[in-house]
Every structure is written in structure tokens, then in C-alpha cells.
């Protein structure tokens, strides 16, 4: 089955290359083209089986593609989307895999040509690793992919793109750009900054005594600073609000400890355990 004749992935890194691998292994396109900035990176993506061929020229890469995936940082995705727009083939479907939507959707959708469709995607399947060397074809198995229709989405685009993400292993749901950015600020962007802060406040003298708890809690802090800086700045209002609410909760815990209110501390710990166990105990893990 080949739902798409040619798929072009701009930015075949962890997500982009994994998608290319999954598309090729599941025969979801006749050809996968990779577009990158560095020759070594796209050469590696081809060697690993993520793409069939590559180019460093975005305009050349999207020629005659009927699906184009922007798999870069948020700001870069906007710039590239605007750059390639005149070169997209009539009927092409454009998507992205960005972690912040309002900035990108509202910047890109008004520029989409009437003969082209744009529907945003967010596969929740990343890690702290980056680059095609970290890619794998099963990255999306049982992962959630959030689909965000835009003013430039056409009838049938949602059905077509949903089918692609399901074919590579994802569960899917839909959110508009504002709801996406509000919810992701709490469950994706805030956790990354919380992990960053935890590393920052830990004294170097304490690190030799750290174990699995600290390592697991701070894993996200190893993520690409350039990408995460773009994500947070693209969703700054929602992330700032989440950080302030988190800071108030930490201050509440500190006040309870300072006051010797062990009951309040226990109640917070118990409530958090129940909330997490109730949710994750009933849902499949990616």
C-alpha cells in the first residue's frame, strides 16, 4: 500500500528519520526524500534506511512531493514552510511535528496556497537524544499523535494524515492550536524545565551520590537546548503560567516542611501518587 507517492522530510533527525524508516518499512510511500543542512547528517539518514535520497536544497527536495513533513525546530519549521511554499506541487499535504502549535500555525497557515493543504501533527515520541543515529522505525509504536487542523486544512486531509500516523503505530487525537499549547505546557514543556532546574540546583558535591531517582527525574535536561529554547519561547505565555503554578506548589511544600506540618506533606505525596497511579495504571505505555 502506497498512500503517498513521494514523501519529503525536512530535517531527518530523531523524529524525521524515525518517520522515514517507518514509512519505508511499512511501504507507505514509493520514495522518501530527506532535506537537511549538513551533508553528513543526511548521508547517515540514507545509510540507516530512513530515506531513499537526499538534497540540501529545500526547493528541490519538495518538488513533486505529495506529503511534506517539517521535522525541525519550531522557528525553523516556520521559516522553511514559508520558503518552500512556492515550490510545493498542487495537491500537496504539508504537516509538521512541532511541539508548539499556535506560533507555527498562525504564522504559516495564512501563507498556504489554495491548492495546498496544511494540517499540523505532534507525535509524542521524542527523547533527549537527537539526530538520525538515534532514530528507529518503532519509535511511534503506541505513541499518541496529536493532530491540529488549521485554516488551511482541506476536506480529507485529516483522514489521510490520521491514517499515516496510525500506519506507523500511533494512536491519534485532535486538538486546536490553543488547546494543544495549553495542555502541552503542563505535561511536556514544564517537565523539561523542571528537570533543568533540578540539575541546576543540585550541588556538584552531591552528584557523586545520585542514583536512579535523580537520573530518571533529570533525563529530560539532556535534551537539545536549541530545540527546547525554541519550543519554550514559542509557547512562552502558557509555559510561564505553568512554571508559576509549579513554583507555588513547591513553595507550599517548603512552607509545610518548615512549619513541621508532616501531615500536609504526606497528603501531597499521597494525592500525587494516587493521581499518577490512577492514570497510568489504566493506560498502555509507549
- Do 29 and 167 contact (CB within 8 A), yes or no? no
- pLDDT at residue 286 greater than cutoff 70: no
Which whole number is the average pLDDT over 125-134?
A: 80
Q: What's the predicted TM-score (pTM) here?
A: 0.92
Which whole number is the average pLDDT over 8-28?
A: 96
Q: What is the pLDDT of residue 285?
A: 54
Main-chain phi, psi angles of 144, to 5 degrees: -90, 130
- pLDDT at residue 184 greater than cutoff 90: yes
The secondary structure element, H or E, covering residue 14 is helix 14-25
pLDDT band at 283 (very low <50, low <70, confident <90, very high): low
What residues have CB less than 8 Å from 101, skipping those under 6 apart? 120, 122, 148, 177, 180, 181
Q: What is the pLDDT of residue 3?
A: 76
Q: What is the pLDDT of residue 131?
A: 85
Cα 221 off chain centre by: 16
Q: What is the pLDDT of residue 126?
A: 72
Domain locations in the chain as residue ranges: 4-175, 180-280
Q: What is the pLDDT of residue 130?
A: 80
Tens-place pLDDT, residues 135-145: 999 999 999 99
Tens-place pLDDT, residues 25-52: 999 999 999 999 999 999 999 999 999 9
pLDDT band at 59 (very low <50, low <70, confident <90, very high): very high
Q: What is the pLDDT of residue 257?
A: 97
* Least-confidence region, from 86-100, 115-129, 188-202: 115-129
Q: What is the pLDDT of residue 1?
A: 57
**Superfamily of chain region 4-175:** NAD(P)-binding Rossmann-like Domain (3.40.50.720)
pLDDT band at 281 (very low <50, low <70, confident <90, very high): confident
The number of C-alpha atoms within 13 Å of 276 and in the hemisphere containing its C-beta is 7
- pLDDT at residue 277 greater than cutoff 70: yes
* Least-confidence region, from 33-47, 173-187, 272-286: 272-286
Fold of 180-280: 6-phosphogluconate dehydrogenase C-terminal fold (1.10.3660)
Tens-place pLDDT, residues 209-264: 999 999 999 999 998 898 899 999 999 999 999 999 999 999 999 999 999 999 99
DSSP per residue, 49-104: TS-SEEES-HHHHTTT-SEEEE-S-HHHHHHHHHHHGGGPPTT-EEEE--S--HHH
Q: What is the pLDDT of residue 129?
A: 72
Mean pLDDT of the chain: 94
pLDDT band at 282 (very low <50, low <70, confident <90, very high): low
Amino acid at each position: 500500500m502506497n498512500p503517498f507517492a513521494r514523501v519529503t522530510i525536512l530535517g531527518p533527525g530523531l523524529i524525521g528519520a524515525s518517520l522515514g524508516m517507518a514509512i519505508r518499512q511499512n511501504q507507505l510511500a514509493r520514495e522518501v526524500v530527506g532535506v537537511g543542512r549538513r551533508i553528513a547528517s543526511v548521508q547517515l539518514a540514507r545509510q540507516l534506511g530512513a530515506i531513499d535520497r537526499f538534497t540540501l536544497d529545500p526547493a528541490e527536495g519538495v518538488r513533486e512531493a505529495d506529503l511534506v513533513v517539517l521535522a525541525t525546530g519550531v522557528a525553523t519549521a516556520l521559516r522553511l514552510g514559508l520558503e518552500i511554499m512556492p515550490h510545493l506541487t498542487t495537491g500537496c499535504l504539508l504537516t509538521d511535528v512541532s511541539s508548539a502549535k499556535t506560533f507555527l500555525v498562525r504564522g504559516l497557515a495564512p501563507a498556504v496556497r489554495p491548492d495546498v493543504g496544511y494540517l499540523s501533527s505532534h507525535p509524542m515520541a521524542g527523547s533527549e537524544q537527537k539526530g538520525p543515529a538515534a532514530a528507529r522505525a518503532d519509535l511511534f509504536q503506541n505513541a499518541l499523535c496529536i493532530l491540529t487542523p488549521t485554516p488551511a486544512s482541506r476536506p480529507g486531509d485529516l483522514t489521510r494524515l490520521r491514517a499515516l500516523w496510525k500506519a506507523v503505530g500511533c494512536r491519534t487525537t485532535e486538538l486546536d492550536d490553543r488547546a494543544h499549547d495549553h495542555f502541552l505546557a503542563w505535561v511536556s514543556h514544564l517537565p523539561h524545565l523542571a528537570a533543568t532546574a533540578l540539575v541546576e540546583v543540585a550541588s556538584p558535591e552531591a552528584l557523586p551520590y545520585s542514583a536512579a531517582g535523580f537520573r530518571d527525574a533529570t533525563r529530560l535536561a539532556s535534551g537539545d537546548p536549541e530545540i527546547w529554547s525554541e519550543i519554550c519561547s514559542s509557547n512562552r505565555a502558557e509555559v510561564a503560567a505553568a512554571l508559576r503554578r509549579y513554583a507555588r506548589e513547591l513553595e507550599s511544600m517548603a512552607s509545610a516542611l518548615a512549619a513541621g506540618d508532616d501531615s500536609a506533606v504526606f497528603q501531597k505525596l499521597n494525592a500525587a501518587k494516587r493521581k499518577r497511579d490512577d492514570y497510568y495504571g489504566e493506560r498502555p505505555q509507549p
